[in-house]
């Protein structure tokens, strides 16, 4: 690599943490009461019948709100297909579609291994 010093997670840790579907399945991390999501590699893939609108569409391997906008919330199949296509074209990666939860999306940075009181929240 470029041998530029930095502080933060190791490369493998960061790669795994940025892969939202892998993190959710591997560690049982949920953003709602149910662990319901689906990944798409093409806009025309069938929607799993357990998925109920409104849904939230975002790139599966970006961080800190990258690829998230007001258009990320979709209310029907037409909007879903359009947003999946747009996001695929722009980010060139698998798309994550999950249950929409009303509220703000925040990023929480953790300092240390077992630390519970030292967090910084990015909004």
Q: What is the pLDDT of residues 8-39, one digit of tens each?
A: 777 777 777 777 766 666 666 666 655 577 88
- The span from the CA of 16 to the CA of 99, in Å, is 22
pLDDT tens by residue, 74-94: 999 999 999 999 999 999 999
Please state, in angstroms and rounded to a whole number, the distance separating the CA atoms of residues 2 and 100: 39
Rounded Cα gap, residues 54 and 29, in angstroms: 21
* Per-residue pLDDT tens over the stretch 33-48: 555 778 889 999 999 9
């Amino acid at each position: 690599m470029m041998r530029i010093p930095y502080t933060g997670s190791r490369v493998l840790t960061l790669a795994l943490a940025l892969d939202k579907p892998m993190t959710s399945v591997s560690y049982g991390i949920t953003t709602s009461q149910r662990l319901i999501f689906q990944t798409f590699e093409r806009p025309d893939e069938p929607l799993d019948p357990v998925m109920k609108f409104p849904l939230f569409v975002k790139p599966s391997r970006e961080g800190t709100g990258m690829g998230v906008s007001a258009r990320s919330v979709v209310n029907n199949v037409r909007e879903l297909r359009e947003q999946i296509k747009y996001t695929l074209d722009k980010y060139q990666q698998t798309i994550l579609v999950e249950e929409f939860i009303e509220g703000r999306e925040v990023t929480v940075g953790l300092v240390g291994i077992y630390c519970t009181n030292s967090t910084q929240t990015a909004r």
